Chain A
Amino acid sequence: MAILEEPIKEVRTLKNYINGEWSESKSEQILNIVNPATQKTLAQVPMSTKDEVNAAVEAAKEAFPEWRRTTPLARARCLFRLKELLEENFEELSRVQTVEHGKTIDESRGETRRGIEMVEVATGIPSLMMGYNLEDIASGIDEYVVYQPLGVFCNIAPFNFPFMVPLWFSPFALATGNTFVVKPSPRDPISQVKLAELVDEAGFPPGVYNVVHGGADAASVLLEHPDIKGVTFVGTTEIGKNIVYKKCGETGKRAIVQTAAKNFLVVMPDANIEGSIPALMTSFFGNTGQRCLSGANLVIVGDDAFYNKLLEAFVDTASKIRVGYGLDESIQMGPMQSIDGKERVTGYIEKGIEEGAKLILDGRKPKIIGDYPDTCFLNPTVFEGVTPDMIIGREEIFGPVASVMRAENLDAAIEMANSSNFGNADSIFTASGKAAREFQYRIESGNVGINIGIVAPMAFFPFGGMKDSFFGSLHGQGRDAIRFFTESKVVIQRWL
C-alpha cells in the first residue's frame, strides 16, 4: 500500500494569529516540531512572550463588543463558511495531524470529522441560545430570561487531539458571541495554524479568534489575565486540578477542566467476543492509547474457559496490529507522539513487572512496518493478573498498554471500577439488558459505554467526566457549552 503524500513541504517558524494578522513572535525560545514516525523536523514553534499573549487577549477583548452585537444568524453564517472550508481542506488537515502527532490517517480523518461536527452543531445557535419566558408571573407582569455572552474565553489545548480539542469549545464560544484565544500544544500546533488560516478566510472579524503559541508560561498568562472570563483546559489531573482549576477559582473565571482517566472495560461472559474485539482494540490501542477515553483496565467476568477464550482473542489480535507511519493506509497504530511519552510508558511497563503483574505481550521492542527509526514507537502491550491497587492498575499510563483483571461477577467489576480515583469513561460488553442497566446506573463515570469501546459523546451531547477526571460544573459540547459560554439574565417587566 502506498504512503500518502506528506502535507508539509518546508520547515517554517509558526506565527501567532492576533487581531486578524499573522505576526512573528519576538521570543528567542523556539522548539522544533518533529514528525514522531520519521523524526523529520516539520516546523518550529515560538514560546510567545507575555506581551504577545496579552496582545491576543487585548485583541479579543476589543473585538468583543461588536461581535456580541453581530446577530446570531450572522455569526452562524461565519461558522457555515468555516464548515465549508474545513470540508474543502479535510484531507490536508487530516494529514497534518498524522505527521505532527503520529496517529493513523483513519484516526486523523476521524478527528477532523469530529471537529467539523462541533462547528455544524454550533451553527444552530439562533435556536440553541434562545431563552424562555412566562407571562403573568403576577398580574400584568412578565418574566423572561436571555442568554448573553461574557467576553473573552480561552483554550489551553493538549497534544493528543491537536485539531479537535480546541473545537470542542471555540465554535460554541464564538456562536454565542464571545471571542476566543487558543493556545495550542507546543508539541503539535500545526493543525491549529491551518485552522486559523481557515477561520481568517471564513471572514470572522479581526480579534474574534486568536492563536498564540507557547507552553506553560503562556498558559499562566492566560490563567492570570483579568480579561479572560473563562478557561477550557484538557490535560493532566495534576495540572488541571492543582493549577488551572485552582487559579480559575482564585481569579473568578469559569472553568471546564477535563483531565486524566483510568477507564475500565468490563466484559461479561455473555458478550459477543468476535464482535467486541475491534471495539476493544480501538479502545486500548487506538491513538496509541493516548486519549482520555482509552480503555486501560480490561475486566473479564466469568469462568476460566471464557476468560481464556477472550484473553486469547484479545492478545492474538493485539499482537498482529500493524504499527508504523500513519500515512501508510494499512497501519493500525502509529508511534507515541514523543520520546518522553514513550519513556513514560516503558517506565510503567517496568513498574508493572516489578509489581508482579504478568507481561504477556511486550511492546517495548517494536516491530515496525517500513523503515522508520524506533524513537517513538511501541507495540501493544498486555499485562495479566493486574489488580486495581497496583500502580499500573490505578494510574493513567497514556499509552498502548492493557491491564487485564478478573472479577467474579458484575458487582465485583463495578466495585473495582468505582474504586478508581477517576471517572471518565467506562464500558460494559454484554448481551444482557439487565446487566447493562445495572452498570449504567451504578458506575461512577461521566461517559458510559454499552458494547462501545470509545465513549466519545457527539457534538450535541456534553462531554462528561467525574471525580478526578473533571473539574468544573458545566461540560464542553452541546447544551452545556451554550450555558458555559453565556450568562443568564432575568428580566421582569411591567408596563404602567
Chain B
Amino acid sequence: MRLHTASETISFAKELENKLAKFYEDLAKRYAKDGDVFLSFAKENRKNVVQIERAYYGVITDAIEGCFAFDINPDEYIFETALAEKASYSDALDKAVEMEEKIIKFYSDAAEQSKSLMADVPRAFRMVAEKRNNRKLKLRSLPGKEG
C-alpha cells in the first residue's frame, strides 16, 4: 500500500529510524570495539525522529496538503536488519551501509514530494539525509575486521 498522508509517512520514517537504531544497538553489543560509534548512531537515529516529528507538528495546519502530499511505495525502502549468525564484521558494515542508502533514498524522495508542505518538512528530511551521507563515509572508514 502506498503512503499518501503526512502522518503515515512520518510514522514510516519513525519506523525506519527506530529499526535502524535497534540494529546499531545490537551491533554495539556484538562488536564492542566500535561500540561507541554504533551507539552514537543509534542515539542520532532517535534524535532524527524528534527532529522530523517537530517539523511535522510545527507546520501541519489545516491549510496544507497533508493528506495528499506523498505518493510513496514503502516496499522500495523497507529493509531487514537481521544479520546471519556467522556474518563477519565486514558483512555487518556492508549491511549497515545498504540500509543507510535505502533510508537516504527514502528521505530524498520524500523531501522532493513534500515541497507543498511548506519548507520545514522537506528541509528536515534533507538534513537527515545529509547526515546519513556522512555516516556512510564513517561506516566505510571503519576497519573491516572484527575487534
Could you tell me which A residues sit within 8 Å of B by CB distance?
1, 90, 104-107, 109-111, 113-114, 117, 161, 164, 275, 277-279, 281-282, 286-287, 291, 293, 317, 322, 329-333, 452-456
Task: Pull 22 A–B residue pairs with CB atoms less than 8 Å apart, ordered by A.
Answer: A1-B8, A104-B7, A106-B6, A107-B66, A109-B57, A111-B62, A113-B58, A278-B69, A279-B65, A281-B68, A282-B67, A287-B62, A291-B62, A329-B5, A329-B7, A329-B8, A330-B8, A332-B68, A333-B67, A454-B62, A454-B63, A456-B63
B42-63: CB near A (< 8 Å → 1, else 0) gives 0000000000000001111111
On whether the beta carbons of B7 and A332 are closer than 8 Å, the reply is: no
CB distance from B17 to the nearest CB of A (A): 16
CB distance from A75 to the nearest CB of B (A): 25
Residues of B within 8 A of A456 (CB): 61-63
On whether the beta carbons of B63 and A109 are closer than 8 Å, the reply is: no
B4 close to chain A: CB less than 8 A: yes
A277, B68: Cα distance in complex, Å: 9
Given the interface contacts A106-B5, A275-B116, A322-B4, does A90 sit within 8 Å of B57 by beta carbon?
Answer: yes
On whether the beta carbons of A114 and B1 are closer than 8 Å, the reply is: no
CB distance from B2 to the nearest CB of A (A): 9
A478, B93: Cα distance in complex, Å: 55
Residues of B within 8 A of A161 (CB): 62
B139 close to chain A: CB less than 8 A: no
On whether the beta carbons of B4 and A332 are closer than 8 Å, the reply is: yes
**What does DSSP make chain B's interface, helix, strand, loop or mixed?**
loop
Task: Name the interface residues of B1-60: CB closer than 8 Å to any CB of A.
Answer: 1, 3-8, 11, 57-60
A331, B62: Cα distance in complex, Å: 15
Q: Which of B3, B64, B69 contacts A330 (CB 8 A)?
A: B3
Residues of A within 8 A of B5 (CB): 104, 106, 329-332
**What does DSSP make chain A's interface, helix, strand, loop or mixed?**
helix
Q: Which of A90, A111, A279, A330 contacts B116 (CB 8 A)?
A: A279
Number of interface residues of B (CB under 8 A): 22
Total A-B residue contacts, Cβ distance less than 8 Å: 87
On whether the beta carbons of B57 and A106 are closer than 8 Å, the reply is: no
A111, B57: Cα distance in complex, Å: 11
Given the interface contacts A329-B8, A330-B5, does A109 sit within 8 Å of B68 by beta carbon?
Answer: no
CB distance from B109 to the nearest CB of A (A): 16
A453, B61: Cα distance in complex, Å: 13
On whether the beta carbons of B116 and A114 are closer than 8 Å, the reply is: no
Additional A-B contact list (11), CB under 8 Å, known A110-B63, A293-B63: A104-B5, A105-B7, A110-B60, A110-B64, A113-B59, A275-B116, A281-B68, A282-B64, A282-B67, A286-B62, A329-B8
Residues of A within 8 A of B68 (CB): 277-278, 281-282, 317, 332
